[in-house]
Structure 1
Amino acid sequence: MKSILLLTAALTAAVQALAQTASPAASPRAAADQIATKKGPLTVQPITHGSVVFTWSGKTIYVDPYGGAEAYTGLAAPDVVLITDIHGDHLDPKTLAGLSVGKALLVVPKAVADQLPAEHKAHVRVLNNGQRLDTLGMSVSAVPMYNLPDDADARHPKGRGNGYVLNLGGKNVYLSGDTEDIAEMRALKGIDVAFVCMNLPYTMDVQQAAQGVLAFKPGIVYPYHYRGQNGLSDVDGFKKSVNSANKKIDVRLRNWYPAAK
């Protein structure tokens, strides 16, 4: 009898260990951050590239969902989805199809609305540069994002895509989208948290991004969207450039490309 009990205990322990090994807790996502607001914490969950999930005041916001629905396993379904541009690393119909977005409001520029699958059309709110939407206790402002020079050959012409500024419990959160170091970014005021891209040849290089950030002085900045044609951009160099000129800016480096480790 004692031998049977010992064998049973050993099998139980083995099953528990196997279950722990297979647990979703082993997700490759970077750890989430929390930022205090007047209406509770803002949780920032990096996903990949230009994709991030915010949780705030009982609401969940997906930004540029991309890279496969499995990257969002274990996260709440979105109340709001923000999409910045038409390119596949921002507007990703395959990822959208695998997510529970049926009740979400999709906030997008017109160029994105024109390309969304038909099943999403009823939930779309189009914002153009300079427009603002107040919904679910937050505000969403669409701001310009574009390449320089702004000409017919630009990968991201002015007016097609949106950057966004969200106000969440008194905190202003800027999402650059695909932009260069444009005057509209430099002129931003009162930004508490910024997500700034830096990948050539599509957006801007590390020094352009650093100089832009030094101009508008966010309290916290996350370099994101930093994979380009030649691999991953030098985010450590970005942090050094920013903090050598302004130590008050909190540059937070997170791994947006866990598979690239």
Structure 2
Amino acid sequence: MKTTRRTFLATAAASAGAITILPYAGMAAAHASNMFTTDAGDITVHPVSHASFVMETPKGVIYVDPVGSPDDYADFPAPDLILVTHEHGDHYNAEVLTALVGAETALITNPAVNGMLPAEIADGAVSMANGDSMDWDGLGIEAIPAYNITEERKNFHPEGRDNGYVLSFEGFRVYISGDTEDIPEMRRLENIDLAFVCMNLPFTMDAAAAASAVSEFGPTYVYPYHYRGRDGGTQDPEEFASMIEGDTEVKMGGWYGEGDLG
């Protein structure tokens, strides 16, 4: 892993416990990074905004659905791996990807995004469909279905098109939901240590559905994310946290700046 001032601070803070809250430069005061200590090594999660985040891991630096501006990522180490879940503008931005993908960066997307990538980054990109799995430099990656099941929402995320992902770091398993409703494939997940679960309306699901699913598959930690919605569809992460049954610990990432919900 590349060493930066942030990784140095994260390492120094590790002795404080399994999870350390780390404010970081370039973001609103509400944003914070969380460190998770695993048998494979420390994993530090940096929320960026909405559905975009960065993970510094023993296998390299991973960007998930990076959008916005390339400047939003200037304080982070360059990515070794970028994952894109689907084509919507809050998850896929061709200009941002082109700016971020370097000569040694691996890029994994769902098939629909793979077919629309700019030529300069398309050649080395890997397409994963629902149910596919692969090994990337010792990191297990599974493409998990992500889709709508409510009839009037099926056009947003049709079944079979979009991905969630499960990443396996020598036994520490991370689930990234992408945009999905409360689907059976999510409820059947097993041995998830860290989850990122979306919620908003009308595009995904409400806080109650998300909490019900999380209560069933029981991750050790969960981030509610992607919770800004349309026409009153924004979901309350605190309400989500209050409805979870079991021992799952909820982590609040500070995904939005002040006044950025609505």
TM range (shorter): 0.7 to 0.9
The answer to whether the 8 Å contact 2:147/2:154 transfers is no
Q: Aligned residues: percent identity?
A: 42
- Supply the distance in 2 between the matched residues of 1:47 and 1:146 (Cα, whole angstroms): 24
Does residue 216 of structure 2 align to residue 215 of structure 1? yes
Does residue 56 of structure 2 align to residue 38 of structure 1? no
Q: Which runs of 4+ in 1 moved over 6 A?
A: none
TM superposition shift of 1:75: 0.7
Deviations 1:187-235 (A, max 9, x none): 1000000000001000000100010101100000000011100364211
The answer to whether the 8 Å contact 1:150/1:157 transfers is no
The answer to whether the 8 Å contact 1:102/1:120 transfers is no
User: Whose Rg is larger?
Assistant: 1
Name whichever of 71-80 and 180-189 sits farther off: 71-80
**TM-score in terms of structure 2 length:** 0.85
Alignment of 1:1-261 (within 5 A): 25-28=25-28, 30-57=31-58, 59-149=60-150, 153-229=154-230, 230=232, 232-242=234-244, 245-246=245-246, 248-260=247-259
Q: Secondary structure at the match of 2:113?
A: helix
The answer to whether the 8 Å contact 1:191/1:219 transfers is yes
Match of 2:14 in 1: none
Deviations 1:48-107 (A, max 9, x none): 111111111161000000111121112111111000001111111122233253421111
| Unmatched segments (≥5 aa) in structure 1 | 1-23
Match of 2:17 in 1: none
- Supply the distance in 2 between the matched residues of 1:231 and 1:174 (Cα, whole angstroms): 24
Pairwise CA RMSD: 1.8
- Supply the distance in 1 between the matched residues of 2:233 and 2:208 (Cα, whole angstroms): 17
The answer to whether the 8 Å contact 1:151/1:157 transfers is no
Q: Secondary structure at the match of 2:41?
A: coil
The answer to whether the 8 Å contact 2:98/2:120 transfers is no
Q: Secondary structure at the match of 2:205?
A: coil
Instruction: Name the one with the larger helix percent.
Output: 1
Say how many residue pairs are matched: 235
Q: Secondary structure at the match of 2:38?
A: coil
Give the residue type in structure 2 aligned to 1:199.
Answer: N
Q: Secondary structure at the match of 1:96?
A: helix
The answer to whether the 8 Å contact 1:81/1:105 transfers is yes
- Supply the distance in 1 between the matched residues of 2:165 and 2:223 (Cα, whole angstroms): 15
| Unmatched segments (≥5 aa) in structure 2 | 1-23
Give the residue type in structure 2 aligned to 1:212.
Answer: A
Give the residue type in structure 1 aligned to 2:27.
Answer: S
TM superposition shift of 1:152: 9.3
The answer to whether the 8 Å contact 1:195/1:224 transfers is yes
